[in-house]
Structure 1
Amino acid sequence: MTTKAESGIVRLIDMIFPGDANHHGTLFGGVALAHMDKVAFLAASRHGRAPFVTASSEKIDFAAPARIGEMVEATGRVTRVGRSSLDVTVELIAEVPTSGERRLCTRGLFTLVAVKGPETELPLPPLGTRAAVETDAALRFVDMVFPQQTSHYGTLYGGDALKMMGKAAFLAATRHARASIVMAACDRIDFKSQIGEGEMVELVARVKMTGRSSIRIDVELWAEHLIAGERRQAAQSTFTMLAVDEKGKPMPIGVASAP
């Protein structure tokens, strides 16, 4: 199944692991900027359907830290469009998984320019009056396929696809239960389409069922060609996630673990 993607807010969500943090246990500024620049690029590409490069960014002040074990969410929206350049406003928010506390870490404005070539149509499309609206409660976030994630065929490794889908299931289950979550099982995964280097991927995770301490999460993996805008479902599966206490034992959902 293929569809056309609509422009609007582009969202990237990731976990902060020790390798992304400094000796204070907080996210490296460079890693935060890399997330923001990636989101700006994807938002620009989805709007302009052209190859873009980052031309500049305004001064970025960090108002609050993001710590190891927290989620970090970067959202980008196109806010100005010129003939061959556009601006993307990006916000970076940290979220405590078990409590849902969110705080704005920083906000920045990125200017990107369309590279002239056979795939570039200028002027760029004007800024729309309505952005795409998310009509359900699914968790959605994007990422991009880089060369180190591909096989010698130039397509995404199955293992990397599974990693992305597992992360989507974890994030959706954590936000639903607000508890420590581990993966208990993964159902059969059907790969329907290859994903090429340079394509954007979108993960869509929905809570299917909630038990006493387990949550079933349906996850879809979509591929999107950044120039053509064509979207196709690449894979889907269902994950069983388990809420656990501080000792790693199953815990009823809705019961906070001890500090």
Structure 2
Amino acid sequence: MTDDSNIEKAPGETPAPATLIDIVFPGDTNHHGTLFGRAGLALMDRTAFIVATRHGRVPFVTASCDRVDFRGPAHIGHIVSCSGRPIRVGRRSMVVEVDMIAEDLTAGTRDLCARGQFTMVAMPEGKGAGWSLPSLDTDAIGAPKDDAVRMVDIVYPDQANSFGAMFGGDALAQMTKAAFGAATRASRKTTVLASCQRIDFKHRITVGSIIELVARIVRTGRSSTTVDVELWSEDLTGAKQTLTAHGAFIMVAVDGDNRPVPAFAA
């Protein structure tokens, strides 16, 4: 493994559109086994906050949820992906449109569950009366350069230790989720974590930081897939991203009885 303890992304490098990915667990569902609307709204609102913060680089609050159309359910075990993009920017407020997609990883189907628009208001403390948000530049929106699984989220206080830094266990959970998504999407089989190879934690991640995980498949075997996962962090008000953790995860494809099966067709 190379020495990447000080790798940073240049401030001028535009991040890809923000996508927050989560798994639908039983505790997030109603008696029909589908995702609660409130849980979906919370994910969409978090996505809108990340999009707005990356655009303005100041704190934001949600002013209104202008409209949300629920078009289909997300079932237990599905992956939900919330992707946001700014569609209108004013002096101190902006509108972010968010799509929530439900994906059955083993079947390979993707269905639009909900689409909504969120008005976010900037709270630019210390910026002066003449401060305003940057104008919307659609040409500057980055696009993924490869087929890696990318997911963003925010670090909350319940994920931190007494020093205000993210727990290593929570960071590992996020990295494992990214590895699961990459391995299952590639094989279209249910995958489970077999082992974590060396995990290097390089920098602390403070509460309120945005984290971005990038998962790439680097090796495949008969039933196993090795996924390289990078965990990047960025301060809410700064564009610089820092590589904070890096590791390799071995995921194994299993059947309904949890026995290994071929991950890819011969």
Q: What TM-score does the superposition give when structure 2 sets the normalisation length?
A: 0.93
CA distance in 2, matches of 1:77, 1:62: 18
Which of 106, 109, 113 aligns to 2:114? It is 106
Given that 2:222 and 2:264 are in contact with CA atoms closer than 8 Å, whether structure 1 keeps it comes out as no
Which of 22, 46, 51 aligns to 2:59? It is 51
CA distance in 2, matches of 1:217, 1:228: 29
- Amino acid in the other structure paired with 1:253: A
Aligned-pair identity (%): 49
Which of 9, 12, 16 aligns to 2:20? It is 12
- Amino acid in the other structure paired with 1:128: D
Distance 1:7 1:216, change over 3 A: closer
Alignment of structure 1 residues 148-227 onto 2, 5 Å: 148-227=158-237
- Amino acid in the other structure paired with 1:124: L
CA distance in 2, matches of 1:156, 1:249: 34
Residues 16-73 of structure 1 show CA distances to partners (whole Å, capped at 9, x for unaligned) of 0001001110000000000000000000000110110001112212110001111101
Q: How many Å apart are 1:133 and its aligned residue?
A: 1.7
Q: How many Å apart are 1:8 and its aligned residue?
A: 4.7
CA distance in 2, matches of 1:95, 1:224: 28
1:40 is aligned to 2:52: no
Given that 2:15 and 2:143 are in contact with CA atoms closer than 8 Å, whether structure 1 keeps it comes out as no
Report the counterpart of residue 247 of structure 1 in structure 2: 257
Alignment of structure 1 residues 138-153 onto 2, 5 Å: 138-153=148-163
Q: What TM-score does the superposition give when structure 1 sets the normalisation length?
A: 0.96
Q: How many Å apart are 1:248 and its aligned residue?
A: 1.1
| SS in structure 2 at match of 1:34 | helix
CA distance in 2, matches of 1:111, 1:7: 21
Q: How many Å apart are 1:7 and its aligned residue?
A: 4.8
Gaps of 5+ in 2: 1-6
Q: How many Å apart are 1:119 and its aligned residue?
A: 5.3
| SS in structure 2 at match of 1:68 | coil
Which of 130, 134, 140 aligns to 1:125? It is 134
CA distance in 2, matches of 1:254, 1:214: 9
Residues 100-146 of structure 1 show CA distances to partners (whole Å, capped at 9, x for unaligned) of 10110110010001013115782111111311121111110101100
Given that 1:8 and 1:43 are in contact with CA atoms closer than 8 Å, whether structure 2 keeps it comes out as no
Matched residues, number = 255
Report the counterpart of residue 21 of structure 1 in structure 2: 29
